[in-house]
Structure 1
Amino acid sequence: MKRYSKIVDLFLRAHNKFNLLESEPRDFSTGDLLYSTEIHTIVAIGEKPAINLTQLAENLGVSKSAVSKFIKKLLKKGYVLKSRPVGNHKEVIFNLTDRGKTAFKGHEEFSREIFGSLYDILENIADREIITIENFLKKLNEELDDIK
């Protein structure tokens, strides 16, 4: 058995568990059930207000057409506002409505609750090990980008 097969197996198991966690829509304190693509779009806008479509697609790691679909749903549900910056009639930017801000805060609470123990584990790992993990995940993402 290759020395890395255990790592690959553990990574895939964790990936499958994350997929299960992400597959269920959740209420983030708004009374609506939001899918992971919707709440992650809300979070990306909440973290960078006045973000444009291209930046949003890059941030989420998906195509601009996919982001357009997410945004249409969120506009219709009242979570996102679409506008144009002053002096720029071409660019479209996105911000959160009050409802979107509520969902954003609800997601922060959800993340603390669900991932708090993971954050505790990471806090107790040496800096050099964190760098190794980050490098592995960066390289993994680059490889996955090339597979498309």
Structure 2
Amino acid sequence: MDTFEVLNNLLVKLFNDILDVEEKAIITDEFKDISVTDMHIIEAVGTEEPRTMTAISKTLGVTMGTLTIGMNALVKKGYIIRTRNPKDRRIVFATLTPKGVSAYKHHAAFHKDMIDSVMDSLNEEEAAVLTKSLNKLEDFFGQWK
């Protein structure tokens, strides 16, 4: 196989494996009532200051309607609380509940383990080359947004 075929096969397999493994790793007995998509909404809300629905939809690259559907489910399941800005009721903030923070930390631990497993086998030069290559790949994907 030539380099093109190897890279193509590797990237396609990695993409599919990441989705599959992430689902298995983060959707445990404790978090069986949410999907990977839900977990990414939780991640976008984050644990810092409350975030507006507009900011979250931009982070995720989804429409406000799509986000609202996901948020409604997460509010109902007890992962997120939504509040309106008292000065401008059109602005809605989202904040994680303690259950949401727990899910966020669980998801972050999966990502840390994933990166640690890659970095453990690379020296600084190899890590720099991998980072540069992945940034170029991200730039390519960014052209399609």
What TM-score, normalized by structure 1, do the two folds share? 0.78
Aligned to 1:10: 10
How many residues align? The count is: 142
Identity percentage of aligned residues: 22
User: Gaps (5+ residues) in structure 2?
Assistant: none
1:119 Cα shift?
4.1
Name the stretch that deviates more: 6-15 or 70-79: 6-15
Q: Contact between 2:47 and 2:101, CA under 8 Å: does it hold in 1?
A: no
Aligned to 1:32: 31
Question: RMSD in angstroms over aligned alpha carbons?
Answer: 2.6
Counterparts in 2 of 1:111 and 1:130: CA distance versus 1, 3 Å: closer
Counterparts in 2 of 1:62 and 1:10: CA distance versus 1, 3 Å: same
Aligned with 1:4: secondary structure? helix
1:67 Cα shift?
1.1
Aligned to 2:136: 135
Aligned with 1:49: secondary structure? coil
Name the stretch that deviates more: 93-102 or 50-59: 50-59
Give, in whole Å, the separation in 2 of the partners of 1:13 and 1:60. Answer: 23
User: Gaps (5+ residues) in structure 1?
Assistant: none
Give, in whole Å, the separation in 2 of the partners of 1:55 and 1:123. Answer: 37
Q: Contact between 2:31 and 2:103, CA under 8 Å: does it hold in 1?
A: no
Q: Are 1:67 and 2:37 matched, yes or no?
A: no
Letter in 2 for 1:63: T
Give, in whole Å, the separation in 1 of the partners of 2:44 and 2:122. Answer: 23
Aligned with 1:27: secondary structure? coil
Name the stretch that deviates more: 112-121 or 56-65: 112-121
Letter in 2 for 1:131: K
What TM-score, normalized by structure 2, do the two folds share? 0.80
Q: Contact between 1:49 and 1:94, CA under 8 Å: does it hold in 2?
A: no
Q: Deviations over 1:52-101 (max 9, x none)?
A: 22221221122222211110110001110101234222111101111111
Q: Are 1:94 and 2:94 matched, yes or no?
A: yes
1:45 Cα shift?
0.7
Q: Contact between 1:50 and 1:95, CA under 8 Å: does it hold in 2?
A: yes
Name the stretch that deviates more: 43-52 or 99-108: 43-52
1:3 Cα shift?
4.8
1:117 Cα shift?
0.5
